Structure 1
Amino acid sequence: MAKFEQLACQMRKQLQEGIWQPGDKLPSLREKSIHSGMSLMTVLRAYQLLESQGLLISRPQSGYYAAPQLAAPPLDSASAVNVQARVELTEDVDVNAFIFDVLQASKSPSVVPFGSAFPDPHLFPQRQLTRSLASVARRMQPRNALDNLPPGNEQLRKHIAQRYALQGIAVSPDEIVITAGAMESLNLSLQALTVPGDYVAIESPAFYGALQAIERFKLKAIAIATDPQHGIDLDALHQALNDYPIKACWLMTNFHNPLGCTLSWENKQRLVAMLEKYGVGLVEDDVYGELYSGLQRPLPAKALDGKGLILHCSSFSKNLMTGFRIGWVAAGQHARNIQRLQLMSTLSASAPMQLAIAEYLATSSYDSHLRHLRKTLEQRKNAAIQSLQSYLPYDVTIYPSRGSYFLWLELPPGLSSTTLYWQALEKGISIAPGKMFTTGDKYDRHFRLNVSYEWDERCEQSVKALAALIQQQIKAMHSMKI
């Protein structure tokens, strides 16, 4: 075992024994180096390892802190069940009606929007973007509408390509297609890789947009078990690729929705090697990539794409302005096909919105906004976790993540998040029950919470109300057993 791994083991044990409580600041790298007698680089690698395992969080210009209380690590999946049990074939997908009901309920101003898919709109630089939109509207010429047809505004595509370059990813502006939000980029990518009746590998649980797309395009889903701490089960995916004629995968390698997990770099490498072996395309959903905690954005699988198999999809909706509905796909060799599909459906993304975002990105405001946004989301998530830990029954598991603005929770055996959803809605609280993210009842004990909103007394009282409803379910279950 390397020195940094030995140090990480020692510190992990200290964290588990409560020497550092959630939120406590750990010794600085220099202090730890002096006390341990190890080099600064060894200490840094140990801290980074613990951060990748969710035990520490790093804060820019502040240091490392003990992470909020983590869920107990799951049993090793390879020893718990066989690979085949972690692959689920779903011929027919039908989830739209329930998803529509949940999302509609979250829109009401009278409802606490824990079930919402969108971040707090007050976090966005609306005034600056409105100024940009007004400015481009005054200068727009009739020709601009044609100039912003697929693949989209040239200046905007150059800005996006430059942001890829900052991550060390070579993407030409010609490979980028601007879309009307991330959902269009994801749907067009899936269409480019499949025809009706094809098999598509997805995560289980999955972002409900993937389920809706599979239903709409009459595809067959192969659902691969996905863990809230480690991500998709790559052994099970390999088995599925071997057993079925899978034409595409739709995966979230960073900050999975709803689980919050991020694939390790080693697993991303393994994933890409697997896709290359079978010649299967990947629709990579990376809409939360900019909303990371810590010092560095995790690279997407696209960074490893040597054969043009990965269509990397993202948008500005989750980090800049939801209502502008501007996304993109770095489509590589599929770019022209996606442009053709877009012209046959929505025609193009809004020309004024493309121009306004291109103008905004030309300033230094975007990165400044992102730094503030990430810091605020992390603070709000930590406040939410502390509140949930204070009021929820001890056997409700909270799975924290190192990015985005969601938390994934697991109820004790025998309880139902669907029941909790309806009960909470009667009290003016929305949640996103596990039923939204699967085609069956497999995740009926789970639910997702949006914690991007300012954590105020209303949120605190809502958590108390959820805790009381969960206690009612527990009592009802025990009374039935007596």
Structure 2
Amino acid sequence: MTFQYQILAEQIADKIQQGELQAGQRLISLRQCAEQQNVSINTVKNCYELLEAQGLIFVKNKSGYFVSAKKSLVQHTQRPTHPDFQSQPRDVSNLELQIEIQQDSINNKLIHLGAIQISPNLVPVEALRRSIQRALKHSKPEDFLYSDKQGHIRLREALSEHWAEDGFYIAKNDIYISNGCMPALSVIIQSLTEMGDSIIVPTPNFNGQLQLLAVLKRKIVEIPADTNGFDLDRLEQAMQSTGAKACLLTANFQNPLGFSLSNAQKEKIAQLASRYQCYVIEDDIYAECSFSLKRPLPIKYWDQQGYVIFCGSVSKSLSTAYRVGWFCIPQRLQHLRAQLLMQNVAVNTPLQLGLADLIYSRAYREHLTTLKPILVAQVEQYRQFIITAFHQVDIGLNQPSGGYAFWIQLPEQIDGLEMYHFAQQQGINIVPGEVFGEDGRYKNCIRLNAGHELSDEIRDAIVLLADWTREQLTSAHVA
């Protein structure tokens, strides 16, 4: 459901983007706007606060709200560039490093710039507690026996209705509940492919997925990606010529680059999957962290022939600790039902029922509505601070329109793995670009998490990384 203040905010944002409202121009007062739009003052107040969080307007004490000036630093910061390369089946070569860095990224004793996760302060703990309590209160005796390995029917119904509200429909009988998104991907990959088979992935690609493919002994076929997405012609060539049985894609706010594909591109991918009978395993875990009011549609929406498997979880939108995810099987793959049930690990029933209640009570939808402007403001704060901290250092920086991952391309002289080891010594966790692809293509890149509040501790950590970078550049210059 879209609230009135969000609709009003979108209308004002459009006027700002189109130049109808100029930088420095004073907006009409809350009361005047309420009378003009025939809404409550509280609705206008929420609207202005959302626009302020998005950085489009600012408030002057006792003077009102004004349109923000465009920030020159943002305009002049280049996007990261990425190399082209030939796509061919190969093994993931750096598994031990992948595992080491993945373990370090969830070390809670280090400053949280590694794993992509939102702050515990953004988790709707009270709403979640009430939902779990209600779920337990109204549970049936059979809810305390062995649970259905496909997942509790109430949660599958809740998810089906939740997604229908966002514009796409998946039948409850096609939904399988899993212990998070990665277990869902694991079950699907093992069901559709065998050891030694190739899977197409755009790179740089989420290091956790590459680690999973390495553990499962699958080969990868990399296709080049950048902050705008990836070339669908290259995807088609890989489907056509490499013998890959599947591809693993994130179309909405991909980790680490943050790109979101257009609806036309998503439709084309669904068509290519059908044409070449190459299954698309869609990891849509970040879609509900969109900065826009409307959730972007998944590739699955355009799947007419049943070659797209939709996967996700609430770990990025609700909490990484809430281990509930899903995979959705089209009719074409229903013959795998017994195998899928055997491989899938049953999920804690009270957690399933708690999430179902959170959805049905509208508390989850309200949480997402509250989360969006906070993420918009927080990510922009990180972006501006990174630019300021790395002043006079030639960096490339992505500009996410959803999610909260930052991909930083450092000068060629800088080794991201060396920075990672330096950061570890300082009690800071980051993820080096080396683990997001093969052949050391991203050695001078790092990924940072912007899911936590930009505290003084995190600011100091970013400044420390920037100062270390300058020292390395000075040493390289002297040498």
Fold similarity call, TM over 0.5: yes
How far did residue 100 of structure 1 move? 3.1
| Cα distance change of structure 1 residues 237 and 63 upon mapping to structure 2, 3 Å threshold | farther
Q: Is the 8 Å Cα contact of residues 396 and 412 (structure 1) preserved in structure 2?
A: yes
CA spacing shift, 1:267–1:412, aligned 2, 3 Å: same
1:362–1:27 Cα change, 3 Å: closer
- C-alpha contact 2:102 2:208 (8 A) present in aligned 1: no
- Matched residue of 1:202: which SS? strand
Q: Is the 8 A contact 1:70 1:399 kept in 2?
A: no
The verdict on how the C-alpha distance between 1:423 and 1:406 changes in structure 2, with shifts beyond 3 A counting, is same
1:285 partner amino acid: D
Counterpart of 2:9 in structure 1 is none
Amino acid at match of 2:89: L
- Residues in 1 aligned to 2:472 and 2:384: alpha-carbon distance in whole angstroms: 23
The one-letter code matched in structure 1 to 2:401 is: R
**2:110–2:428 CA contact under 8 A, matched in 1:** yes
Question: Map of 1:67-216 to 2, 5 A cutoff?
Answer: 68-69=74-75, 71-72=77-78, 85-90=85-90, 92-145=91-144, 148-216=147-215
State the Cα distance separating 1:266 from its structure 2 match.
2.2
Q: Does the 8 A contact of 1:86 with 1:236 survive in 2?
A: no
Residue 317 (structure 1) aligns with: 315
2:254 matched to which residue of 1?
256
- Structure 1: where are the runs of 5+ without partners? 1-24, 35-56
Q: Secondary structure, in 3 states, of the residue corresponding to 2:357?
A: helix
Identity of aligned residues (%): 28
Give the secondary-structure state (helix, strand or coil) at the position aligned to 1:127. Answer: helix
Q: Deviations over 1:313-372 (max 9, x none)?
A: 111111123222001112212664665345434531111110111111111211111011
Q: How far apart in 2 are the matches of 1:300 and 1:64?
A: 33
C-alpha deviation, 1:408, in angstroms: 0.5
Q: Give, in whole Å, the separation in 2 of the partners of 1:282 and 1:62.
A: 46
Distance 2:70 2:362 in 1: 32
- State the partner residue of 1:275: 273
Where structure 2 has 5 or more consecutive residues not aligned to the other structure, the ranges are 1-12, 23-53, 58-64
Equivalent positions of 1:14-53 (< 5 A) are 27-28=15-16, 32=20
The alpha-carbon deviation at position 157 of structure 1 amounts to 0.9
Summarize deviations over 1:16-42 as a string: whole Å, max 9, x none. Answer: xxxxxxxxx8854786399xxxxxxxx
Q: Tell me the amino acid that sits aligned with residue 405 of structure 2.
A: F
Task: Give the letter aligned to residue 114 of structure 1.
Answer: L
Match of 1:326 in 2: 324
Change (3 A) 1:74 1:405: closer
Distance of 2:176 and 2:320 partners within structure 1: 19
The two structures have a TM-score, normalised by structure 2, of 0.82
Tell me how far apart the structure 2 counterparts of residues 476 and 166 of structure 1 sit (CA, whole Å): 56
How far, CA to CA, are the matches of 1:305 and 1:289 in structure 2? 17
Q: CA RMSD in A?
A: 2.9
Task: Please give the alpha-carbon distance, in whole angstroms, between the structure 2 residues aligned to 1:394 and 1:190.
Answer: 42
User: Which segments of structure 1 move beyond 4 Å, counting only runs of 4 or more?
Assistant: 57-67, 138-142, 334-339
**Where does residue 302 of structure 1 map in the other structure?**
300
Q: Report the CA distance between 1:70 and its aligned residue.
A: 6.5
- Tell whether the 8 Å contact from 1:259 to 1:407 is kept in structure 2 after alignment: yes
CA distance in 2, matches of 1:121, 1:100: 25
What is aligned with 2:384? 386
**Over residues 158-187 of structure 1, what are the superposed CA-to-partner deviations in whole Å (9 max), with x where a residue is unaligned?**
111112212332311111111111111111
Q: 1:59 to 1:461 in 2, by over 3 A?
A: same
- Conserved 8 A contact 2:98-2:211: no
